[in-house]
Structure 1
């Protein structure tokens, strides 16, 4: 098995929070929304159906686990889950907490405005709460 390689754009735009069973859990460097990403650690995958059936099931499980923890931590109105890959082909799943009245609600977050960096303390508190919610 070859060593997993993360697309340089995903690496640049996010930071590692945890490694789950299949995926890297990453936080996008955009504080406008609580925005997470799951990246299955399998090289050459571009679509969910490219994964082996067991990995598909694990991705679904990890997506639901992270989405549930994100909703618990944020109290979001809606959790958006998407695997687009139109620009970055490497398979990755976005999990975003949305709130009525947030930037661009109810429209999509992609291509809207400029990313706003997290304040360090806010980011660390969010990550701590998220990891705790994932552990419970």
Structure 2
């Protein structure tokens, strides 16, 4: 699995939902998903967005693509675990407010603002300072590039 700045062929009609676009910043494109950092410094939080139009829930994803997305979830979760050393990695596909399929990957700590409850609907989002946001996105991208290199165990 090699990260890329190149869109996949199904990108033609795919667009990021305006709310997700407003709430997050780009990190990298993996073969199937666009990876974005949710701009909330209270929680280390990444979104995986399959770049195929018309996907609103997991049931919409073709089986072969589901397996690829699971590989990307594993890759992102491992990077988040390495970078943030959390107590837990929370994964979810909620979609009640934004219908476009996206997968949340949140690194949770016992001292975070919402622990032990869920992060959704907890308090007000607190955007990262610009330089911190860019540094964090770059650090996550670097880990994803390293872990998905051709000789990496995650590569196929």
TM-score scaled by structure 2?
A: 0.83
Q: How does 1:72-87 map to 2 (within 5 A)?
A: 72-87=82-97
C-alpha displacement at 1:49, in angstroms? 2.0
Distance across 2 between alignment mates of 1:108 and 1:27: 18
Distance across 2 between alignment mates of 1:43 and 1:63: 19
CA contact (8 A) 1:23 1:41 kept: yes
C-alpha displacement at 1:127, in angstroms? 1.9
CA-based RMSD of the aligned residues comes to 1.2
CA contact (8 A) 2:39 2:133 kept: no
SS of residue matched to 2:13: coil
SS of residue matched to 1:113: coil
Distance across 2 between alignment mates of 1:61 and 1:126: 22
Question: Which runs of structure 1 show a deviation greater than 3 angstroms over 4 or more consecutive aligned residues?
Answer: none
C-alpha displacement at 1:16, in angstroms? 1.1
Distance across 2 between alignment mates of 1:133 and 1:17: 11
TM-score scaled by structure 1?
A: 0.94
C-alpha displacement at 1:128, in angstroms? 2.3
Q: How does 1:1-136 map to 2 (within 5 A)?
A: 2-136=12-146
Structure-1 residue corresponding to 2:4: none
Unaligned segments of structure 2, at least 5 residues: 1-9, 147-156
Unaligned segments of structure 1, at least 5 residues: none
SS of residue matched to 1:56: helix
Cα deviation 1:45-79 (Å, max 9, x = unaligned): 11112111111111101011001001101111111
Q: How many residues align?
A: 136
